[in-house]
Each structure stands twice: as structure tokens, then as C-alpha cells.
Amino acid sequence: MADPMKGTPLEGFELPEDVFGLGAGELAYLMARHETPAGERSRRLLMLDPRTADDAALLAGASSLASRGWLTVTDDGTPESRSNAALVEYAVGAATRWTRIGLVGENVSQADFAILVESDTVIALMQPRQLASWFIRLGERDGNTGALVTGLVRERFAANAEAGVFLEVQTLEGSTNLAIRRSGTDFEALTDVAGPGTGTGGVVDADGLQDAVTALYAETVSA
């Protein structure tokens, strides 16, 4: 996978099979290497503290990556990310689509979320953890995002049938959303939700759920 941006080439880096973590400084450093509209959107959705962009914080992030072997410096002084870090750098800097997956429990105090970041070749499922760290799972973009996200939704309901899931799909051009709750053995799926009592749709079965989720990735999003 060739990196079209000014950064580390991705050839030879295999996608890891396991979940791994990045700290706020490490992630901020990787994102600071690419001043792109996609990178700025990723920064906003990942809610990085502006203080992580300070020179001292970026140096700390780079140092931490280097200690893992995920950042090296060439003979001419050019830093290059390696392994998992190179793949994350590419995904967030060259992203074309973002899905915010809001996971809501029986009351709003149980809210949690994950972000699915998609570039042309690499996808990253990212979930925040303590002290501004992130758990990350990488994969290849294969055109089956709808099926992947539907699987995550079903896992959520299997763990907590009273839960709700709110999906917001964003591109640089606009966004669309889908709110999902269990309705007996089926699912209530509402699109274009702007607040309580809004949205269009209704109750669907398991196949209809996947159709509703997949439709988010097929339609043109609104500005």
C-alpha cells in the first residue's frame, strides 16, 4: 500500500491481528505529520486536547513511539513511523469516511463510543480508554463496512438488550445518522434523527437492520 501523502511508505507493514493501544501524545504526533482536511477532521472527532499539539507534548509522543520501535530517524534526520504506528498515521491522515458509534446503556450516564476511521486501504476501529489513551484494531477496507458495523451493533445488543446505538457517518461533504434500539425480537431503526421524536423509519428484522446500516454507506450524505 503506497502512501500518497508526504510520510512513511506503507509497503511491508502487515496488519496486526490484535488490539493495541496508543497514548494521546503518540496519536497527536502521528496526526501532526499531516496537515490535511482529513487529518483535521480526525483530530476533531478523536477529541484530542489542543495542548497535545505543543512542541513538548509532540516530542514526548515521538519519544514514546521510538521506544516501542514504531518511529525511527533516517540518516538525513527524517522521522519515519513504523509498524502499527505507520498504519494508524495513514488511516487518520488520509481518511475519507468516519463513523461515530455511540453506545448507550439503560440511561444516558452509561454512554460510550467508538470511532471507525476509513482510508482508501486501511481502516481503524478506535475506542477511548483511561487517561486519553485509545484502543485500536486495524483492518483492510474491503467494501463491507455496512456488514462490519452491523456486527458491532449486534454485539452491543447481545451484551445488553436494553442498550441503544447511534451511528453517525461523516465525510468531508456531510453526514447522516441512524438510531437503533431493540423492539422485541426486532429492531427500531430511525434515520435523520435530530432530537427526541424525530427521524424516519420503523421496526425491522435482522436482515432489515443490516440493510438500514448498509444504506448509510451507499447514500450521498447531506451537507
pLDDT in tens, 84-97: 999 999 999 999 99
List Cα–Cα distances, 208 to 150, 184, 204, in angstroms. 11, 15, 5
Q: What is the pTM of this model?
A: 0.87
- The per-residue pLDDT for range 123-155, each reduced to its tens digit, is 999 999 888 889 999 999 988 999 999 999 999
User: Cα Rg for the chain, rounded, in angstroms?
Assistant: 18
| DSSP structure class, residue 25 | H
Q: SS3 of 47, please? A: coil
What pLDDT is recorded for position 117? 97
How far is 138 from 136, CA to CA, in rounded Å? Answer: 7
- The per-residue pLDDT for range 28-66, each reduced to its tens digit, is 999 988 888 999 999 999 888 777 778 898 999 999 999
**What are the extents of the domains in the chain?**
20-93, 97-216
Average pLDDT taken over every residue of the chain: 87
What pLDDT is recorded for position 3? 39
pLDDT category at 15 given cuts 50, 70, 90 is low
| DSSP structure class, residue 16 | P
